[in-house]
Amino acid sequence: MEYFKVKNLTVPKTYSLQEVGITQSLLSTWKTCRRKFLFSINRWERIENDRFAYHSMMHYLLEVLYSGATGVTILKELTKYKLPGKPDEIETMKAVAQVMISYYIMHYKKDFTEKRFESVEGKFSIKFGDYLLLGKKDGRFRDKQGGRWHIEHKNYARIDEDFLMQHLSFDLQNMFYALADLIEFKKPLKGVLYNIIRKPETRKERSTQELYQHLEKEVSKNPEHYFIRYEIPYALSEIEEFKRSLQFQLDEIDSTIGGCHADTELIPVAFYKNESACDGKYRCPFLGACSTGNMCGYRQRKVLFPELI
Ligand code: SF4
């Protein structure tokens, strides 16, 4: 069987920052590795790509929750939710999710009386000069004083609190959304509520029932270990600085794309591999493609931005 060759990748004529736009995730890909960016704008993905299955399910449950559903409805949605994987893995993931979401609702009951949610999973498409910024915010709410906040949900298995406390002050996603919010509302938001639900460790030898009981005991004993929040304010001056640097970065992407349209020989050169980025927090899914030069084990998605679905 003949596989598509990496050397035949082009910059799609249909892609532009002006007409199609960019998400923070695609911008982050550009900053991580230009070759990965090239794979992404061509919509390639690994066929086995269920690494974020648990994260996506928890995200969905939180979306339903903050849209006004009751705990009973959430559990019904969890039962119906379709997960990839083997039946025992699915059962384990759902047992974990059931415990975590049930205790989350109890732990943060004030969310449902003191916060006024204005949008949940709200998409935006905002003009930034000639370019288009795209995204989907987990939630936007008003606090008791009427201040506007974003909430960002994360499910991490390992959490380095010292690193996060410092790094979140210039987190790309938070800054990107804060800027989009400033353009839309003409006034800076109060901050971002970074909402982490720790993914518990699961041991294979436990039955689902044992796992469920074990997690209930663990989470009820120490909820602060599993539910962590940071309130991060961003000053207008920080958002303005981000705005200038974003302009610089988008101009660089735009001119690279334009240069490769004019001279296709430039494509492998301009979209060079960043060998330092192959094995970071997560192993790059395109390692196989970069090492073999073909797209065996990959497929092309229908949509460019799966994060906006
Ligand atoms: S494997 Fe490495 S070089 Fe290849 S796309 Fe990923 S990060 Fe870039």
Tens of pLDDT, residue by residue over 44-59, are 999 976 778 999 999 9
**125 membership: H or E segment, kind and range:** strand 116-128
What is the model's pLDDT at position 40?
Answer: 98
Whole-number Å distance, alpha carbon 279 to ligand 1 midpoint, is: 9
What is the model's pLDDT at position 29?
Answer: 98
- How far is residue 275 from each of residues 33, 205, 298, measured CA to CA in Å? 8, 38, 20
CB distance 284 to ligand 1 below 6 Å: yes
Per-residue pLDDT tens digits for 148-201: 999 999 999 889 999 999 999 999 999 999 999 999 999 999 999 999 999 998
Q: Would you kindly state where each structural domain of the chain is located, as residue ranges? A: 6-49+253-308
Angle at 160 between CA 154 and CA 166, to 5 degrees: 90
Whole-number Å distance, alpha carbon 271 to ligand 1 midpoint, is: 11
Write the Ramachandran bin of 284: left for phi over 0, alpha for psi from -120 to 50, otherwise beta: beta
- Cα 132 to its chain centre, rounded Å, is 19
- Specify whether the CB–CB gap between 18 and 250 falls below 8 A: no
Distance CA 16, CA 26 (A): 12
Per-residue pLDDT tens digits for 221-246: 999 999 999 999 999 999 999 999 99
Q: Atom 2 in ligand 1: which residue has the minimum CA distance?
A: 278
Per-residue pLDDT tens digits for 75-134: 999 999 999 888 988 999 999 999 999 999 999 999 999 999 999 999 999 999 999 999
Distance CA 134, CA 230 (A): 25
CB distance 268 to ligand 1 below 6 Å: no
CB distance 286 to ligand 1 below 6 Å: yes
259 by DSSP, 3-state: which? helix
Q: Atom 5 in ligand 1: which residue has the minimum CA distance?
A: 36
- How far is residue 182 from each of residues 22, 152, 159, 189, 232, measured CA to CA in Å? 17, 17, 30, 7, 16
Average pLDDT taken over every residue of the chain: 95
What is the model's pLDDT at position 266?
Answer: 97
List, in sequence order, every residue forming a beta bridge with 230; answer none if it has no partner.
194
Whole-number Å distance, alpha carbon 97 to ligand 1 midpoint, is: 32
Unique residue bearing structure tokens 């923070």: 24
CB distance 194 to ligand 1 below 6 Å: no
Q: Atom 1 in ligand 1: which residue has the minimum CA distance?
A: 287
Alpha helix ranges (H) inside the chain: 24-32, 34-41, 53-66, 71-80, 87-107, 111-114, 161-167, 172-185, 208-221, 223-226, 236-262, 267-270, 287-292
In SS3 terms, 18-83 reads as: CCCCEEHHHHHHHHHCHHHHHHHHCCEEECCCCCCHHHHHHHHHHHHHHCCCCHHHHHHHHHHCCC
Phi, psi at 196, each rounded to 5°: -105, 130
Tokens of 62: 């939180």
What is the model's pLDDT at position 49?
Answer: 64
Per-residue pLDDT tens digits for 11-39: 999 999 999 999 999 999 999 999 999 99
What is the model's pLDDT at position 204?
Answer: 74
Distance CA 44, CA 29 (A): 13
